[in-house]
Chains A and B, each alone.
Chain A
């Protein structure tokens, strides 16, 4: 391919702008006093919306709710997945189990929720905080199992047995050997399952019956009300935490989530 250095630099800049522009646009829209057709730029900017919505209104509540759900889902699915995947990986039927774990994970969450809604009602979990956590776990946990299945190698099994002969109890093997060795992967899994929950909309709106108002539901509600400024604000709240995290360490974000 022919390109001079200068043209190349230009195209790199175009690429950067394309990739970063959405963040800037959302922030600008959330700060705009008024921004209507055909203005290319908002009339003026204000911090009022941020202070009112974050202060008194329920958007702050949604932020905390999303955070609580995502932290619960990430914690449970990471540790449960780690524990399960060990036994699945060492089981003679290993390949069957790993194959099975792909189904709930790639299945459309919203369709999964639709066919399971009945059971959530029967268990009295529909529309509740716990119900939404359980619903999201049904996606995040299989992901965690898939992610960890590669960790449990023959070598790890040997190290585990060696630790046993050195006098390690089962709990000591986890605490002193397996968990420290898997530390990096555990962090990746935690952030990925956190994001699965943080980003989730379809399943949450069905299992939560619209009552569990996470941030993604707020975004949708504002879009429906044609309140684009508020939608942009709620969107910013969704997008900024992962971007800040990304700035400090990008390896946690890059993992296949599907």
Chain B
């Protein structure tokens, strides 16, 4: 009698395929977290004096750290909120126009912009000597560049939110247009109409809820993506408050080595937040990225 043995992999190809994944996608994350943890606990590192919670205590009592977490959430949520409103409007109002011709091409153009170029562009347009300030000056709305409102490197992150929204809105406009077709919303609207729903009621009760529900996973992933963005807050942000990714790199690159453990603590907390958000997302019923066949 042949007893079928429990094998980890069915064949060599499967072994290689999965091993590749473990080495490239799982192992680095684990190693990264371990390194950051050890550094933050004083076990390793250039300034290490042996195991200590001192760095954690210092980091957790630092107002800048908490402010940075709050600011990161604020920027991401403001961006996603603004993006939802704008892209719902564009995708529903200009649905016909955006499908063909020049508008159909133009809506894709911002997708060809890397974050660093968008940041540069917004700086050029919104700064006090930027294009908008010049136009305001020529229109005699302002008499001097310093009177122009601070829109970049401002305390409320207006420039940062604007730049992110510029990148996200075309994407979600196209995404909503796709969903609209996939979800047969045209037919559902006709059903609602025959039941006596006005155009506004069709939008409010059928179209918008369906679109938002379907888009929920992607919206969440995009929010996480904005939370971890670097180039845009680096160029358009200010010293405080700072988004977490910028704070990590700043503390890592200071001349004084003493802030390095704090940089790694911020990184660990950021990774923990992302893992928590993703775990919640994976539990939600709306998440249907072919996870289970």
A250, B218: Cα distance in complex, Å: 20
* Residues A110 and B109 in contact, CB atoms below 8 Å apart: no
Which residues A127-164 have CB closer than 8 A to chain B? 137-138, 141-142, 145-146, 149-150, 153-154
Q: Whole-angstrom distance from the CB of A218 to the nearest CB of chain B?
A: 10
* Residues B228 and A153 in contact, CB atoms below 8 Å apart: no
* Residues B102 and A16 in contact, CB atoms below 8 Å apart: yes
- Chain A residues bordering chain B, tally (CB within 8 A): 84
A115, B279: Cα distance in complex, Å: 21
Q: Which residues of B contact A150 (CB under 8 A)?
A: 289-290
Q: A38-B138, A114-B252, A231-B120 are in contact. Are A22 and B113 (CB under 8 A)?
A: yes
A202, B235: Cα distance in complex, Å: 12
* Residues A170 and B18 in contact, CB atoms below 8 Å apart: no
Label chain B's interface by main secondary structure.
helix
Instruction: Let me know if B270 is at the binding interface, CB within 8 A.
Output: yes
* Residues B115 and A201 in contact, CB atoms below 8 Å apart: yes
Instruction: Let me know if B225 is at the binding interface, CB within 8 A.
Output: yes
Instruction: Let me know if B155 is at the binding interface, CB within 8 A.
Output: no
Q: Which residues of A contact B110 (CB under 8 A)?
A: 19, 22
Which residues B62-117 have CB closer than 8 A to chain A? 90, 93-94, 97, 102-117
* Pick from A26, A114, A235, A238: contact of B249, CB under 8 Å: A114
A19, B168: Cα distance in complex, Å: 12
Q: Whole-angstrom distance from the CB of B35 to the nearest CB of chain A?
A: 5
* Residues B24 and A137 in contact, CB atoms below 8 Å apart: yes
Q: A29-B124, A84-B21, A201-B114 are in contact. Are A116 and B32 (CB under 8 A)?
A: yes
Q: Whole-angstrom distance from the CB of B250 to the nearest CB of chain A?
A: 11
Q: Which residues of B contact A145 (CB under 8 A)?
A: 21, 25
**Segment among A54-62, A88-96, A182-190 that sits at the interface with chain B:** A88-96
* Residues B267 and A114 in contact, CB atoms below 8 Å apart: yes
A228, B275: Cα distance in complex, Å: 39
A253, B252: Cα distance in complex, Å: 35
Q: Counting chain A CB atoms within 10 Å of each CB, which of B25, B124, B225, B252 scores highest?
A: B25
Inter-chain contact count A-B, CB under 8 Å?
245
Which residues A91-121 have CB closer than 8 A to chain B? 91, 94-95, 97-104, 106-112, 114-116, 118-119
Instruction: Let me know if A83 is at the binding interface, CB within 8 A.
Output: yes
Sort chain B's interface into a size bin.
Answer: 35 or more
Q: Whole-angstrom distance from the CB of A191 to the nearest CB of chain B?
A: 11
* Residues B32 and A253 in contact, CB atoms below 8 Å apart: no
Q: Whole-angstrom distance from the CB of B289 to the nearest CB of chain A?
A: 7
A80, B46: Cα distance in complex, Å: 37
* Residues A103 and B275 in contact, CB atoms below 8 Å apart: yes
* Residues A25 and B121 in contact, CB atoms below 8 Å apart: yes
For residue A151, which residue of chain B has the nearest CB? B290
* Residues A40 and B25 in contact, CB atoms below 8 Å apart: no
Q: Whole-angstrom distance from the CB of A65 to the nearest CB of chain B?
A: 15
A97, B26: Cα distance in complex, Å: 9
* Pick from B25, B32, B218, B224: contact of A101, CB under 8 Å: B25
Instruction: Let me know if B147 is at the binding interface, CB within 8 A.
Output: no
* Pick from A98, A100, A116: contact of B26, CB under 8 Å: A100
Q: Which residues of B contact A219 (CB under 8 A)?
A: 116-117, 120
Q: A87-B18, A114-B267, A138-B24 are in contact. Are A206 and B111 (CB under 8 A)?
A: no
* Residues A94 and B229 in contact, CB atoms below 8 Å apart: no
For residue A16, which residue of chain B has the nearest CB? B106
Having A36-B129, A94-B291, A246-B109, one finds 7 other A-B pairs with CB under 8 Å, namely: A94-B293, A95-B292, A108-B227, A108-B270, A239-B114, A246-B108, A253-B111
23 inter-chain pairs at a CB distance below 8 angstroms, sorted by A residue, are A15-B90, A16-B103, A19-B106, A19-B110, A20-B106, A20-B109, A22-B118, A23-B109, A40-B131, A83-B17, A98-B290, A103-B275, A107-B29, A111-B245, A112-B29, A150-B289, A199-B116, A216-B116, A239-B114, A239-B117, A250-B105, A254-B108, A258-B221
Pairs A-B, 8 closest by C-beta atoms: A108-B228, A87-B17, A199-B114, A115-B32, A242-B112, A258-B225, A202-B230, A19-B106
